[in-house]
Amino acid sequence: MALPTIGTLAYNGVTFDVLTKSEVSGTPVLDDAQRVTAYVRYTITVTARLTAGGGAVDGQFELWRKALQTVGGTLTYSGKGFGSTFVVGVGNIKDVAFGPIPTLLSFTPIGNLCALVEWTVTTCVAECVGATAPFGSALLAFNFSAEYNIDDQGLTTRSISGYAEIPMNYIGADSADLRREKFVPPLLPGFRRQSQRFVTRPDKRRCDFSIIDTELPVPLLPGTTHITADHSVKGGLDRGFAVIDCNFSVSITMPISSVGKGRADVYDKFMLIVGPRLTGAKKAALPAVGLLAAVAGTTAMTKSLMVREEIFTRTTHFNFDYSIIGTTISNFLKTSGIWSPVAGADADAWTASLKTLLGPRGTAGLKLLASDDAVTISLCTSGTPPVLAGKPKKQPIPTVKIGNAPIPADKVPPDASWLYYSNEVRILEDDKIVAHKPLQGVPGIQMQAQGPSANNAQQPPAGQAAGIQFNVPDKLQRVGAPTIRVEMFGRGVRFGNRVPVPRLVTFGGQPVTQIYQNSGERSIAGAGDAKVWTTSWSIIYRVTLPPNAPQAPANPIFDRGQ
């Protein structure tokens, strides 16, 4: 009489009979933080008797040997008091780590008609109280550690490292790399995502990551990844701080992505930095390079602009020299625009503009797809290793459109157009002295020996210098009142306005009469009517009486506003 069947114990097509002995043990497997049970690893140990219906067991055990040592088969353990439907691989219960996995198979023959078989298998199952463990896009475990480093400027660098683990089995291929968007932390406003590193384990169940975010000293312009900018201003007493020489040195790196104009936008970013400081005022409309914007009686004059493009990178360098004319020592710094905030530089806007670029996929958008690991390689399986093509996104080549910047010539205030001015006056006095040459005396000539024949030349007597010698002095006599002339000479440089030749009306309280003039004018720089003009002059005047306490002539740079 056959014994009644008590439950079912089967694996991968092999069903053990009623005389089989089994034991089950479970070990909770915690996550790396040791806080949550990620899953339970069950170990089932089986002791079974193998018979072949009165014949030799060779053929039967050969089938068992292959079936019981194959990973990922269906495991049924039901009707034995362990749960009514503990079937791993079918229905709602799935192994989360490519199991079940056989770990031991021993064979003890009893003659050739019977054998004692010991077999052990492990399976990893997520035991959720009151619910069924979901698969799909769910995470099996997630943990991270955070490190914060603060430098001597108070700026913070945040480093996050962790892992994300997903359940996987042979029923549906998957990859933990596909979950990046689920576990990568969002960008912090005002922080640059310095680096992101993702390492997917060989079983594709786990992705380890490390992310470094560094705090920016100041917000950058939206759409840029790196900006370095220097603004220097210089004035001096030699020009009474009426002219400020300024320089911008700017390097801008912009991404070339499917969103935005890429390099074509770099010129606009440069003007967002330079524009407000060039005008010296907070204006919504920004000037183009070369625009002469009059602000509170001052003029900004472009001197040079150099643009250097790194062709095979994403960086463009600018070097911009200009002068601000018409300033004073009291408003030197205010007019220069130094320390002015950069229009449009906003931490939230900058972070939003680089959401895709600095996101978990970068510009290429590469993913480790499930299909990239669909083939397993072993001696028992055929196939070739997959080619990880990745299919990166194609980056567009932007079209650069830069318009010409007009230079209006009629916006330069005359009193704020002086670049250089020098005007000097000197007195030329003819005292009407004549010299009478007496007939007495004998002049002579003493020559200093030179050249190759110097050894044979006659040398002057000791104590006498070479040259013409005479021994009777001249007779000096004043023949009239002195004649006084005044010479005024100088040079002026002006932007957008011609330099008029100055005139003397009086000198030292005495009227003057012009008797000679030599002057000239030319343009030395500029475009169109907005030129830099220079004029030089030399004028001689005659005065009839000696001047009283003469004064220096006026200087339009130093005397502005007086």
Mean per-residue pLDDT, 524-549: 83
Q: What amino acid occupies position 214?
A: T
Angle CA 250–253–259, to nearest 5: 135
CA distances from 191 to 148, 158, 186, 188 (A): 13, 9, 11, 5
Q: What is the pLDDT of residue 357?
A: 81
Placement of tokens 């705090």 in the chain: 215
Q: What is the pLDDT of residue 407?
A: 37
16 or 376, higher pLDDT: 16
Q: What is the pLDDT of residue 500?
A: 92
Dist CA 415 CA 422 (whole Å) = 16
Helix, strand, coil abundance in the chain, percent, nearest 5: 10, 40, 50
How does residue 465 score in pLDDT terms, banded at 50, 70 and 90?
low
Dist CA 382 CA 289 (whole Å) = 67
Sheet holding 14-15, edge to edge: 14-15, 8-11, 75-78, 87-88
Q: What is the pLDDT of residue 364?
A: 81
Residue 381 clears pLDDT 80, i.e. is over it: no
Q: What is 276-329 written as a DSSP string? A: HHHHTS--SSPPPTT---EETTEEEEEEEEEEEE-TTSSEEEEEEEEEEES--S
Are residues 185 and 355 in contact, defined by beta-carbon separation less than 8 angstroms?
no
Q: What is the pLDDT of residue 289?
A: 37
Mean per-residue pLDDT, 362-388: 74
Residue 498 clears pLDDT 80, i.e. is over it: yes
Dist CA 14 CA 80 (whole Å) = 17
Dist CA 338 CA 320 (whole Å) = 15
Mean per-residue pLDDT, 368-380: 74
Of the candidate ranges 60-74, 101-115, 264-278, 401-415, the one whose mean pLDDT is the lowest: 401-415
Q: What percent of the chain has pLDDT over 90?
A: 20
Handedness of CA 457, 462, 466, 470 (dihedral sign): negative
Are residues 237 and 255 in contact, defined by beta-carbon separation less than 8 angstroms?
no
Residue 255 clears pLDDT 90, i.e. is over it: no
Q: What are phi and psi of 340, to 5 degrees?
A: -75, 140
Q: What is the pLDDT of residue 404?
A: 42
Whether the ω angle into residue 500 lies within 30 degrees of 0, i.e. cis, is: no
Q: What percent of the chain has pLDDT over 70?
A: 78
Mean per-residue pLDDT, 51-73: 78
Mean per-residue pLDDT, 140-152: 94
Q: What is the pLDDT of residue 287?
A: 36
Are residues 11 and 68 in contact, defined by beta-carbon separation less than 8 angstroms?
yes
Residue 45 clears pLDDT 80, i.e. is over it: yes
Q: What is the pLDDT of residue 5?
A: 58
Q: What is the pLDDT of residue 334?
A: 77
Residue 549 clears pLDDT 70, i.e. is over it: yes
For the chain, the domains span: 8-125, 141-217, 226-352, 417-432+474-562
Measured from the Cβ of residue 521, the count of other Cβ atoms closer than 10 Å reads: 14
In 91-180, beta strands by DSSP E: 101-110, 114-125, 141-150, 156-165
Are residues 213 and 158 in contact, defined by beta-carbon separation less than 8 angstroms?
yes
Are residues 188 and 351 in contact, defined by beta-carbon separation less than 8 angstroms?
yes
Residue 182's nearest CA partner among 198, 169, 194, 170 is 198
Question: Coil, strand or helix: which one is 333?
Answer: helix
Q: What is the pLDDT of residue 455?
A: 53
Mean per-residue pLDDT, 252-258: 67
Handedness of CA 219, 220, 221, 223 (dihedral sign): negative
Q: What is the pLDDT of residue 257?
A: 53
Instruction: Report yes or no on whether pTM surpasses 0.85.
Output: no
Q: What is the pLDDT of residue 412?
A: 67
Handedness of CA 42, 48, 52, 56 (dihedral sign): positive
Of the candidate ranges 174-188, 210-224, 338-352, 359-373, the one whose mean pLDDT is the lowest: 359-373
How does residue 445 score in pLDDT terms, banded at 50, 70 and 90?
low
Residue 262 clears pLDDT 70, i.e. is over it: no
Residue 281 clears pLDDT 50, i.e. is over it: no
Q: What is the pLDDT of residue 263?
A: 56
Lookup: tokens for 524: 């030395």
pLDDT, tens only, 168-217? 877 557 888 888 988 999 988 889 999 999 999 988 889 999 999 999 99
400 or 355, higher pLDDT: 355
Q: What is the pLDDT of residue 210?
A: 96
Which helix (DSSP H) or strand (DSSP E) does residue 215 occupy? strand 206-215
Number of H helices, E strands in the chain: 5, 27
Mean per-residue pLDDT, 327-347: 80
How does residue 284 score in pLDDT terms, banded at 50, 70 and 90?
very low
N-terminal to C-terminal alpha carbon distance within the chain: 130
Residue 329 clears pLDDT 80, i.e. is over it: no
Mean per-residue pLDDT, 330-347: 81
Pick the CATH number of 226-352 from 3.30.9, 3.30.2000, 3.80.30, 3.40.50: 3.30.2000
| Of 130-134, 225-229, 299-303, 458-462, highest mean pLDDT | 225-229
Residue 283 clears pLDDT 50, i.e. is over it: no
How does residue 458 score in pLDDT terms, banded at 50, 70 and 90?
low
Q: What is the pLDDT of residue 150?
A: 95
Are residues 229 and 369 in contact, defined by beta-carbon separation less than 8 angstroms?
no
Dist CA 159 CA 152 (whole Å) = 18
529 or 410, higher pLDDT: 529
